[in-house]
Amino acid sequence: MAAGRISTARSLTSPSILSPRLQQIGMYLRTASHRSTARRKTRWQVAAAIFLVLWGTLAVIVSLQKLFDEEDVTRTAYAETDAPNSPRGNCSPPAINRFPTDVFTQEQRRHGAVILHVIATLYMFLALAIICDDYFVPSLEKISEGLHLQPDVAGATFMAAGSSAPELFTSIFGVFISRDDIGVGTIVGSAVFNLLFIVGLCGLVVKTAITLTLWPLLRDCSFYLISVAALAISLYDGKVHWYEAVILVALYCLYVVLMYFNPQLSEGFTRCFPSPAGSENKEHNEETVLITSVAEKGTEGKTLETPSDDAVTTQSKETVSDEPESPFSVPSGLWRRVLWVVGLPLTLLLAGTVPDCRRDRWKRWYPVSFIMSVAWIGVFTYILVWMVTVIGFTVGVPDTVMGLTLIAIGTSVPDAMSSVLVSKEGEGDMAVSNAVGSNVFDILVGLGVPWFVRTAVVQTNSVVSIQSGGLVYSAVTLLSTVLVLLFTMWLNRWRLDRKLGVICGCLYALFITLATLYELNVFGDFNPPTCPGSYTLMIELRK
């Protein structure tokens, strides 16, 4: 009897006895299980690839550190021979000493050859914009999809890394190679550029006033205030210890956790503090993506006449899923054609070495795209810092001033363009969040990670010396600008308009003027002078 019952049970559960609906449910469960297993496998593969890339980058940094440490004797001989009347503690050796020998002499550069270095600097800005927009950011999007991250977390981590990659690599080279304050100056300069100039520019280009949503603005600005305060405390004594770097990285991890719970926090904040009249929490859906992508590609804006919202959504998804235009197709418009011709060598170089994971043919190659993009960003940033250092040495401008102005502005131009395009479409919240949110990554990761690697991994229990005391005052001034900006927005009833744009532009000009005067020792001896001497003697000592 027992055997009969077992046989009957088996026959009842066989596919021939089960109803089609139950068969579909069973097939769905098996498929879902396979998908879940494949998803976990993909997630671990992506995480392992990222781990290997990070450790590989660390190994390269350590190798470069040892390579440049071999030249310490040369730099010491240079300082002692060429500056006998200037104690080494009272001056800083030129950062140009840590880079390859320039093909031009100081005299030739002062008589016009420095123009070539300026052109090379501008070309590196273009190269960084191309590699980040066309290869690095798409690979990070694929990684975020592979790890199945929430949009808020992905935006605070991988997307922030994509937009801030030039600043991060500039900081790395400043800590490990040039060993000066050019990285800190770039981070501070980029922060104030994003906060004041980009927000002000968005206010100037909007057609009508946009009322900002309170929660994203206060969330990003509050954490940005904490980041700037932590930076000012770290720079106060002129030395950065390993535990200060750990605090910066820990604050960023806290920021990621905050973004993870952003939906719940936003809902609770909205219940307690309703948004101002005229504002609402906007969902950046596919229509916004379509408008932004069309604007960025230079397509003529046309009204989409569709019978329903579903049709718009369908068309939006199809448009977004289409492959990008070929980089070798000639664009329309004189300025775009000139820019395309100038960037054609870069386009050929990158197209031949980096897989474009936006295309169906290479969409599974995004780990290779990520690795090659990181490599090229490192190369372009190294050349950029090298050229800017040569320019500053030629004209007698400190490296920190070059970082605060030239490098900071050049590396932030892509962010400015994207924020302006978004603000023109009425998405003021997205524009401001993009400008302010990237600053959190710049300060906490762009400075915290290189400082931690230097003080806790490469040289245990060492410190990173900050040569310029003016950067402390610049950080404190930056802290005050955030408070002034929030106060101004409150007086303006949280509206993004031309009046706010003019005020932000004036604040940016005031900050850059004060920071430059600090670095030029107008208000006191904050920045030690460069050790006097000729670059020719340095070349002879190397030989």
Instruction: Give the whole-angstrom CA distance, residue 275 versus residue 412.
Output: 30
Amino acid letter for position 315: Q
- Domain at 34-70+92-275+335-527, CATH from 3.40.140.10, 3.40.190.10, 1.20.1420.30, 3.40.980.10: 1.20.1420.30
- pLDDT of 116 above 90: yes
pLDDT of residue 273: 76
104 confidence band (pLDDT: 50, 70, 90): confident
Helix (H) or strand (E) holding 240: strand 239-240
In 184-211, which positions are buried (b, 16+ CB within 10 angstroms) versus exposed (e)? Answer: bbbbbbbbbbbbbbbbbbbbbebeebbb
Q: Kindly report the CA angle at 537 between 388 and 122, in degrees rounded to 5? A: 15
pLDDT category of residue 314 using cuts at 50, 70 and 90: very low
Taking the C-alpha atoms of residue 383 and residue 388, their distance in angstroms, rounded to an integer, is 9
Please write the tens of the pLDDT for every residue from 174-216. 888 777 777 888 888 888 888 888 888 888 888 888 888 888 8
Q: Model confidence at 71, in pLDDT bands (50, 70, 90)?
A: very low
- Asked if residue 25 has pLDDT above 80, the reply is no
Q: Which of 18-27, 258-267, 412-421 has the lowest mean pLDDT?
A: 18-27
Q: Is residue 300 over pLDDT 60?
A: no
Question: Could you tell me which residues are beta bridge partners of residue 92?
Answer: 530
- Of 256 and 28, the one with more pLDDT: 256
pLDDT (tens digit per residue) in 501-538 = 999 989 888 888 888 887 777 777 777 776 654 444 44
Q: Give the pair of three-digit tokens for residue 410.
A: 């050049």
Neighbouring C-beta atoms of residue 513, cutoff 10 Å: 10
* 65: pLDDT strictly greater than 60: no
Q: Which of 130-139, 408-417, 455-464 has the lowest mean pLDDT?
A: 408-417
Most confident of 19-23, 91-95, 221-225, 292-296: 221-225
Distance from the first to the final alpha carbon of the chain? 98
Percent of the chain with pLDDT over 90: 6
The Cα–Cα gap between 181 and 447 comes to 11
Mean per-residue pLDDT of the chain: 73
Which is higher by pLDDT, 300 or 103?
Answer: 103
Q: Which residues contact 158 (CB under 8 A, 6 or more apart)?
A: 140, 141, 143, 144, 149
CA distances from 502 to 196, 311, 412, 510 (A): 10, 41, 19, 12
How many angstroms from the chain centroid is the CA of residue 406? 16
- Give 464-496 pLDDT, tens digit per residue: 888 777 778 888 888 888 888 889 889 988 888
Angle at 501 between CA 497 and CA 503, to 5 degrees: 120
State the pLDDT confidence band at 288, using cuts at 50, 70 and 90: very low
Residue 157 has φ and ψ, to the nearest 5°, of -115, -80
Comparing 13-17, 37-41, 189-193, 292-296, the range with the smallest average pLDDT is: 292-296
pLDDT at 400: 79
Q: What does the pLDDT read at residue 27?
A: 57
Residues 6 or more apart whose CB falls under 8 angstroms from that of 448 comprise 245, 246, 247, 248, 249, 251, 252
Query: For the ranges 221-225, 251-255, 416-420, which has the lowest average pLDDT?
Result: 416-420
Q: Which residue has the higher pLDDT, 470 or 91?
A: 470
pLDDT at 272 over 60: yes
Residue positions counted in the chain: 543
> Which position has the higher pLDDT, 104 or 12?
104
Q: Name, of 88-92, 329-333, 479-483, the range with top average pLDDT.
A: 479-483
Q: Are strands 495-496 and 210-211 parallel, antiparallel or unpaired?
A: antiparallel
pLDDT, tens digit (0-9, with 9 covering 90-100), for 431-457: 787 777 788 888 999 899 999 988 888
348 vs 147, which has greater pLDDT? 348
Place of tokens 């395009």: 421
Residues 6+ apart with CB under 8 A from 273: 214
Reduced 3-state DSSP string for 6-37: HHHHHHHCCCCCCCHHHHHHHHHHHHHHHHHH
Is the predicted pLDDT of residue 319 greater than 50, yes or no? Answer: no
The H helix count followed by the E strand count for the chain is 26, 4
Q: Which of 373, 327, 368 is nearest to 348 (CA)?
A: 327
- Window from 243-257, 334-348, 467-481 with minimum mean pLDDT: 467-481
C-alpha neighbours within 13 Å on the C-beta side of residue 432: 31
Cα(217)–Cα(433) distance, integer angstroms? 7
Check if the beta carbon of residue 403 is closer than 8 Å to that of residue 167: no
Higher pLDDT, 73 or 429: 429
Does residue 20 register a pLDDT over 80?
Answer: no
- What is residue 84's predicted lDDT score, i.e. its pLDDT? 41
- Token couple for 49: 């690839």
State phi, psi for 525 to the nearest 5 degrees.
-85, 80
| Torsion over CA: 421, 427, 430, 433 (sign) | positive
- pLDDT band at 307; cut points 50, 70, 90: very low
CB atoms closer than 10 angstroms to residue 259: 23
Rounded CA separation 161/167 (Å): 10
Band of pLDDT at residue 90, cut at 50, 70 and 90: low
Q: pLDDT band for 33, please (50, 70, 90 cuts).
A: low
**Separation between Cα atoms, residue 142 and residue 155, nearest integer Å:** 13
Distance CA 156, CA 65 (A): 30
3-class SS string, 135-179: HHHHHHHHHHHHHCCCHHHHHHCHHHHHHCHHHHHHHHHHHHCCC
DSSP codes, 309-330: HHHHHHHHHHHHHSPPPPTTSP
Which residues does 81 contact at the CB level (< 8 Å), separation at least 6? 537, 541
Which amino acid is present at 156? Answer: A
Whether residue 308 is predicted with pLDDT greater than 50 in this model: the reply is no
Closest CA to 324 of 349, 294, 350, 369: 294
**CA–CA distances in Å: residue 524 to residues 481, 517, 521:** 22, 9, 5
Q: What is the token pair recorded at 86?
A: 């200037």
Helix (H) or strand (E) holding 405: none
Contact 75, 530 (CB under 8 A): no
Distance in angstroms (rounded) separating the CA atoms of residues 43 and 143: 9
The whole-number pLDDT of residue 249 equals 92
pLDDT at 322: 56
Domain spans, the chain? 34-70+92-275+335-527
User: Distance (Å, rounded) from C-alpha 366 to C-alpha 161?
Assistant: 16
d(CA 12, CA 215): 57
